[in-house]
């Protein structure tokens, strides 16, 4: 019964969700020497957000260098995006995050900015 409730919750709440998988991505060799790569998948079910930014940081949340197709990208409602991250072989990268970028609104409201991270172990 508990799982049925959970399933219904997961199925019903996708109107405004932000998801990044896998939680623990693995780094592997790329086709370039001394360059590692990993792949993640993002899903945008937030109808109020179309733009996201990729952040890669070390364990102390300091930015580390990385290469990807687009660091800021547009992702329409209910679309998936495969994210390919390239890192130097001596990288200290620990967290890979996607953060929602909010457009200036016209209403007196408090907007929610979401940030979901994956951790390299």
Partner 1 sequence: MLKPVIILASSLLATEALAQTEIVGNVDSKCIIISETPGVYGNPNPYQLTTTPTDGGVQPIIRYDVLAADYYKAVIEHPIDFSSAPTLDDVVNWTGDVEVSEMSDTNMADYDTNKVEYNNTHEYEMTVAGSTWFKISSLADYGFAKSFPAGTYTAVVEAECIPL
- Residue number with CB closer to partner 1 (59 or 69): 59
User: Is there binding between residue 78 and partner 1 (CB under 8 A)?
Assistant: no
- Residue number with CB closer to partner 1 (13 or 65): 13
Element (H, E) at 5: helix 2-12
Question: What sign has the CA pseudo-torsion 47, 50, 54, 60?
Answer: negative
Select from 116, 85, 88 the least CA-distant residue to 100. 116
- Residue number with CB closer to partner 1 (23 or 89): 23
Q: Which two tokens stand for residue 26?
A: 């693995």
Kindly indicate which of the ranges 31-39, 64-72, 74-82, 97-105 contains the residues binding partner 1, using the contact rule CB under 8 A: 97-105
DSSP state of 103: P
- Residue number with CB closer to partner 1 (57 or 68): 57
Distance CA 53, CA 91 (A): 20
Residues 51-70 that bind partner 1 (CB under 8 A): none
Kindly indicate which of the ranges 66-74, 76-84, 85-93, 105-113 contains the residues binding partner 1, using the contact rule CB under 8 A: 105-113
């Amino acid at each position: 019964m508990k799982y049925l409730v959970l399933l219904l919750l997961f199925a019903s709440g996708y109107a405004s969700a932000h998801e990044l998988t896998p939680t623990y991505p693995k780094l592997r060799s790329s086709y370039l020497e001394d360059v590692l790569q990993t792949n993640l998948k993002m899903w945008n079910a937030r109808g109020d957000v179309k733009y996201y930014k990729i952040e890669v940081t070390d364990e102390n949340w300091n930015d580390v260098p990385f290469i990807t197709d687009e660091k800021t990208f547009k992702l329409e409602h209910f679309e998936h995006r495969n994210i390919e991250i390239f890192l130097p072989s001596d990288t200290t990268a620990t967290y890979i995050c996607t953060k929602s970028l909010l457009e200036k609104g016209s209403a007196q409201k408090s907007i929610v900015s979401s940030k979901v991270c994956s951790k390299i172990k």
